[in-house]
Amino acid sequence: MATRKRKTFEPSLKLEVVRMIKEQGQSILNVSESMGIGQTAIRRWLAQYGAEQSGQSGIPPVSG
């Protein structure tokens, strides 16, 4: 069975997606479909953003 390589996203894109949901009031489903990003990833980014806002580590920079 072939393993799938996980997509990587720039932190700036993650922040843009979070802002679309938090500030513009768009739904996770709408953003997911319009940007071609899985809902699970978006939910994880929202959780990371929330953690960052409460003083914990948030979205880490992509190393590459």
Give the model confidence (pLDDT) of 3-45 as tens digits: 778 788 999 999 999 999 999 999 999 999 999 999 999 999 9
- The secondary structure of residue 8, as a DSSP letter, is -
How far apart (Å, rounded) are the C-alpha atoms in residues 20 and 44? 15
> Looking at the predicted structure, is the pLDDT value of residue 48 above 80?
yes
Arithmetic mean of pLDDT, 41-64? 78
Helix, strand, coil content of the chain in percent (nearest 5): 55, 0, 45
Q: C-alpha distances in angstroms, 36 versus 13, 28, 64?
A: 12, 11, 22
pTM above 0.95, yes or no: no
More confident residue, 49 or 56: 49
